[in-house]
Amino acid sequence: MKYRDVMRWMGHRRWFIWTATQLAPLDAKVVRRSGGRFGILGNYGLPQCLVTTEGRKSGQLRTVTLLYGKLGDDVILVGSNFGQSHHPAWALNLEANPRALLSIGGEEQEMVSRPVTDPQVREEIWQLMADMWPAYNLYRGTAGREIKIFALTPAGDRSPTGPHH
């Protein structure tokens, strides 16, 4: 069994969910310092990125580690928050200010996000992301809310492709 498969299995376990939420701030620091080579979910066949947003209340920059997907030229982020009943702060920050800094493998790029609201596109994205991280289906069932999905496009790109609202 590959480490990626073990991680995907653990994603369904309550102890893993609790541990991951507790280690999330440390994980972002480890990923940044290692140039994306190390992290809780990184470098095991699961695509991981750092997303830096501006705090909607504090105005301070906040960085989190997230799994991401690709659909066309867009980078896809899912605000599952490990199935918790509240939205993750980064998703609320993106709603307040759609600009973000995305770092993949140590390469940083300014991005602009938009919420994905079209039901058909959301389902297509959901299947793509759940194929990568099956625990998303568990989170979808336990969150008790509609999980936010964002498509990010490079900030200099005037004509974004992929999913639209």
The CA distance from 104 to 92, in Å, is 21
Give the pLDDT confidence score for residue 160 in this predicted structure: 42
The amino acid at 130:
A
pTM metric for this prediction = 0.79
Helices assigned H by DSSP within the chain = 3-10, 14-33, 89-96, 119-132, 135-142
Query: Tell me, what DSSP letter sits at residue 73?
Result: T
- Write phi, then psi, for 149 (nearest 5 degrees): -125, 135
Give, for all 165 residues of the chain, the pLDDT tens digit: 565 676 666 666 676 666 766 666 666 666 666 666 666 555 566 788 899 999 999 999 999 989 999 999 999 999 999 888 999 999 999 999 999 999 988 899 999 999 999 999 999 999 999 998 898 998 898 889 999 999 999 998 644 444 444
The pLDDT score that the predictor gives to residue 162 is 41
What is the homologous superfamily of the domain 3-154 according to CATH?
A: Electron Transport, Fmn-binding Protein; Chain A (2.30.110.10)
Give the ranges where 34-145 is alpha helix by DSSP (H).
89-96, 119-132, 135-142
